């Protein structure tokens, strides 16, 4: 009983302490600066001049420990960006921060001399004052001095896990300061975890994410335009990037182009990546919009030495460089590639004598690990080649700066590690080979001989192959599909189960038709509703679409993508089983005079926002960088709460595959949604999806398809008509009359503006989906759009007199059939 009374008393005491803390927090004193005669105790805060950031004491997660940290003041989600005493927390609310006369910060317990954290300034202090800047930087300076170079101390020199705008990552070569961010151990423990992001010094320095002392991911060296391993990292639409490389420092920093953007990067112990976030006022939460790693090829050393990683390869992502073979063929064939590759033939090199070796040129690479490199900033590429030939240890070379055609020279020595191939972007790399292997004439002659031999064999066996092909085609295709299914771990449904669920594929259950074949609604025995895609034997595209859908979306998980539940391969039947999306496709709502009234503006804006997030996931955050190629209202499904789900991935592609640098001779999709460079030249990229998205947004706003609109003496499509009204400052005339009462004018105008930015003629002018998400989620100023692609000019009135009416009218939607469209 005595023990119970003690526990009871202790509980009451704890409650009183916590209650006192809550009351003190609610009445916390806010300071704008701290001087030698002042202090900051638990319950008090230091606030930046503009009220953006706040310094004070906090307890992370469910921890009871107390830490001194900085967080966003005006954001309701408590987000800590810096912690002082990461490794030495205070056990109660007795913490106190003071500034001494020598210009040092000291964190102690009130009433004791125990120091939990302190700073050391090497500069002379004169009336030191502590202030928190609106950048999130806590600075200790002499009063009257505002030059950052004169600061006695600043928190930006000692980052925690968060990378803020204006903060530097890298190294101060004069003082030795290592500007590095390190993950928290857990949400409850801000002490340094295993993963960190910082600079690895060498003659050609680069930033790396480290797991302890081991490299986990390389950004690659800065080549004057971007980091070699991250050609799309800069997000120049939203951020200004600064890279400094000189005798004083090597650093990387960013700054938002618009002050209203609230952005941060944070390294996480669980994801092992630098994730980037932007504050979204609409949902009052952080929106994830980027990551340092995109796919499996970003894992350091995955393929071992003297090889490169290509995520678009369907069988083996790791490939030996030309002139090299797997060190252990047995392990290599079992996908254990860490031993890498070795040379087939030795180099013809003698020390101190210029070698007769040659070089093979690779394009579009993340250059190798730069630990063993030599930089010659003033050498040309030809001089670089000669320098490399004179050194028997030199294995590769390239320009150190790719701007203006290239300049500078960097050479690699020893094995070449951690190379990645990009479909777009990347750098040239010249890799050393023995003369007889690198000679262009030899390779061309060899190719001619091989080609001629193959042609002769093919001509002889063509008839036999054709006959065998016809006989075995179905079995081969089925085996191929089964192989893909095995690789994806998709659940397999029994044919009888699907037959029963769809009432034997009854016409009454048919809900759609595509290039793959018919789509049926079904209900499983447990009541789960499903949508079943049935491969049509007569479909010329069906097999290609089936394999594409299985490969690309089997492992994709996102609330704005339709979910693949499994498949069925049995007898003659080849089926895909999806979640059933109850409200069907978006086009049945926005283009229907009756149903469109059920979609008010908040719902339409939510659909636009959801499609944005789904497309961003495909382009940037999925395990493969996926281009949909057929985004349209008919391929956006709406669930019971009208949340959008992107569907129909049969036409989708990853970077690489059957195209060369984003070029394909098989143009597919729907006319009116295709970007001009894709429809005309077969060039596709994430920017062609952005174009389609822009069309879709305009259709949602206007409730009209992007097809011919006849008005006055001009024939325009919807985008052309919108562009004309935009220039005449009459954009409000575009709004669907059914949403005029519910719409927020500023939001609608912003969406129209974003739509026109997305459909600009040239891909480089269009924003990325990360930028689109930011533009929709913030009040940032937007640049003026340029003329859209496929903007029809004036047409002959006589030739089209039947089209002109007093009101807008439409003709039927056209699809691309001559270009393999649907």
Q: Which residues are catalytic?
A: 630
Q: Residue 388 class from Cβ within 10 Å (0-12 exposed, 13-18 middle, 19+ buried)?
A: buried
Give dist(CA 484, CA 548) in Å, integer: 10
Q: Which of 28, 73, 25 is nearest to 52 (CA)?
A: 73
Q: What are phi and psi of 690, to 5 degrees?
A: -60, -40
**How far is residue 407 from each of residues 205, 382, 384, 426, measured CA to CA in Å?**
17, 10, 10, 16
Supply the DSSP symbol for 407.
Answer: B
Q: What's the angle, vertex CA 325, arms to CA 321 and CA 328, rounded to 5? A: 130
Taking residue 156's Cβ as centre, other Cβ atoms within 10 Å add up to 21
Question: CB within 8 A of 81, min separation 6: which ones?
Answer: 53, 69, 70, 71, 72, 136, 160, 162, 164, 264
β-pairing, 45-47 vs 324-326, is: unpaired
Helix (H) or strand (E) holding 58: strand 53-58
What DSSP character marks residue 444? H
For residues 754-765, b (16+ Cβ closer than 10 Å) or e, as one string?
bbbbbbbbebeb
Cα 377 from Cα 812, distance rounded (Å): 61
In 3D, which of 602, 733, 627, 741 has the Cα closest to residue 684? 627
Q: Determine the 3-state secondary structure of 257 from DSSP.
A: coil
Q: How far apart are CA 763 and CA 245, in angstroms?
A: 31
CA 259 from centroid of its chain's CA atoms: 23
Distances (CA, A) of 239 to 33, 81, 251, 496, 774: 30, 19, 16, 56, 11
CB 493 within 8 A of CB 536: no
Q: Is the dihedral of CA 515, 521, 524, 525 positive or negative?
A: negative
What CA–CA distance (Å, rounded) separates 380 from 329?
39
Q: How far, in Å, CA of 558 to CA of 412, rounded?
A: 41
R_g of the chain computed on alpha carbons: 31
Residue 192: count other Cβ atoms within 10 Å of its Cβ.
Answer: 19
In DSSP notation, 219-237 reads EEEB-SSSBTTBTT---TT
Which H/E stretch holds residue 725?
helix 718-727
Classified as helix, coil or strand, 316 is coil
Ramachandran angles phi, psi of 304, nearest 5° = 75, -170
Q: Say which residues have a Cβ less than 8 Å from residue 808's Cβ, sequence separation at least 6.
A: 709, 710, 711
3-state SS of 255-301 is EECCCCCCEEEEECCCCCCEEEEEEECCCCEEEEEEECCCCHHHCCC
How crowded is residue 570: how many other Cβ atoms within 10 Å of its Cβ?
Answer: 15
What is the Cα 438 distance to its own chain's centre?
A: 37
């Amino acid at each position: 009983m005595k023990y119970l009374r003690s526990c009871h008393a202790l509980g009451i005491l704890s409650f009183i302490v916590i209650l006192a803390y809550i009351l003190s927090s609610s009445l916390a004193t806010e300071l704008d600066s701290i001087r030698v005669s002042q202090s900051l105790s638990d319950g008090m805060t230091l606030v930046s001049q503009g009220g953006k950031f706040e310094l004070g004491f906090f307890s992370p997660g469910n921890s009871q420990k107390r830490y001194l940290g900085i967080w966003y003041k005006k954001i309701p989600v408590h987000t800590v960006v810096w912690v002082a005493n990461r490794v030495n927390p205070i056990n109660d609310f007795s913490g106190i921060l003071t500034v001494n006369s020598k210009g040092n910060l000291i964190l102690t317990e009130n009433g004791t001399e125990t120091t939990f954290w302190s700073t050391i300034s090497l500069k002379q202090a004169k009336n030191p004052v502590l202030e928190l800047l609106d950048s999130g930087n806590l600075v200790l300076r002499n009063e009257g001095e505002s030059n950052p170079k004169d600061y006695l101390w600043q928190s930006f020199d000692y980052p925690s896990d968060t990378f803020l705008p204006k903060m530097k990552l890298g190294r101060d070569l004069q003082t030795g300061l290592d500007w590095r961010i390190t993950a928290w151990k857990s949400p409850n423990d801000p002490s340094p975890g295993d993963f960190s992001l910082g600079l690895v010094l060498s003659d050609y320095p680069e930033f790396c994410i480290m797991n302890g002392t081991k490299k986990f991911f390389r950004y690659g060296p800065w080549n004057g335009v971007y980091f070699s391993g991250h050609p799309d990292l800069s997000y120049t639409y939203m951020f200004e990037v600064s890279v400094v490389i000189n005798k004083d420092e090597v650093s990387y920093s960013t700054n938002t182009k618009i002050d209203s953007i609230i952005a941060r990067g944070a390294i996480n112990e669980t994801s092992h990546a630098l994730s980037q976030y932007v504050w979204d006022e609409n949902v009052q939460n952080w929106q994830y919009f980027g990551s340092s790693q995109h796919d499996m090829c970003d894992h350091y050393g995955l393929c071992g030495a003297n090889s490169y990683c290509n995520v678009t390869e369907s069988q083996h992502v790791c490939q030996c460089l030309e002139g090299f073979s797997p060190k252990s063929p047995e392990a290599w064939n079992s996908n254990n590639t860490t031993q890498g590759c070795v040379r087939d033939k030795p180099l013809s090199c003698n020390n101190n004598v210029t070698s007769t070796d040659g070089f093979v040129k690779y394009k579009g690479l993340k250059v190798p690990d730069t630990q063993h490199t030599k930089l010659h900033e003033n050498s040309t590429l030809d001089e670089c080649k000669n320098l490399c030939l004179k050194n028997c240890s030199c294995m590769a070379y390239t320009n150190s700066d790719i701007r203006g055609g290239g300049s500078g020279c960097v050479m690699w020595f020893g094995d070449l590690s951690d190379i990645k191939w990009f479909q777009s972007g990347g750098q040239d790399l010249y890799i050393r080979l023995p003369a007889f292997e690198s000679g262009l004439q030899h390779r061309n002659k060899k190719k001619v001989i091989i080609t001629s031999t193959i042609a002769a064999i093919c001509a002889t066996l063509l008839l036999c192959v054709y006959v065998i092909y016809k006989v075995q085609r179905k079995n081969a295709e089925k085996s191929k599909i089964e192989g893909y299914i095995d690789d994806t771990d998709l659940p397999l449904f029994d044919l009888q189960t699907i037959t029963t669920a769809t009432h034997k594929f009854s016409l009454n259950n048919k809900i759609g038709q595509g290039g793959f074949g018919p789509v049926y609604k079904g209900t499983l025995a447990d009541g789960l509703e499903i949508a079943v895609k049935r491969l049509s034997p007569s479909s010329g595209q069906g097999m290609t679409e089936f394999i594409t859908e299985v490969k690309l979306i089997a492992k994709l998980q996102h609330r704005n993508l339709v979910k693949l539940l499994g498949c069925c391969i049995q007898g003659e039947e080849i089926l895909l089983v999806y979640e059933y999306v109850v409200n069907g496709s978006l086009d049945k709502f926005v283009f229907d005079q009756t149903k469109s009234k059920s979609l008010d503006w908040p719902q339409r804006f939510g659909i636009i926002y959801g499609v944005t997030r789904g497309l961003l996931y495909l382009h940037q955050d999925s395990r493969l960088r996926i281009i949909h190629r057929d985004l349209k209202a008919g391929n956006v499904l709406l669930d019971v709460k009208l949340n959008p789900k992107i569907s129909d991935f049969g036409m989708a592609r990853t970077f690489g595959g059957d195209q060369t640098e984003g070029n394909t001779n098989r143009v597919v999709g729907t006319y009116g949604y295709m970007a001009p460079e894709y429809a005309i030249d077969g060039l596709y990229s994430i920017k062609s999806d952005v174009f389609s998205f822009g069309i879709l947004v305009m259709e949602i706003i206007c409730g009209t398809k992007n097809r011919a609109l006849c008005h006055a003496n001009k024939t325009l499509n919807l985008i052309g008509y919108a562009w004309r009204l935009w220039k005449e400052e009459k954009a409000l005339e575009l709004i669907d009359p059914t949403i005029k009462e519910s719409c927020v004018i500023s939001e609608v105008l912003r969406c129209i503006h974003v739509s026109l930015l997305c459909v600009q003629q040239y891909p480089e002018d269009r924003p990325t989906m990360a930028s689109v998400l930011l533009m929709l989620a913030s009040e940032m100023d937007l640049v003026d759009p340029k003329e859209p692609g496929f903007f029809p000019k004036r047409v002959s009135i006589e030739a089209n007199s039947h089209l002109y009416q007093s009101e807008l009218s439409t003709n039927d939607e056209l699809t691309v059939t001559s270009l393999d469209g649907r």
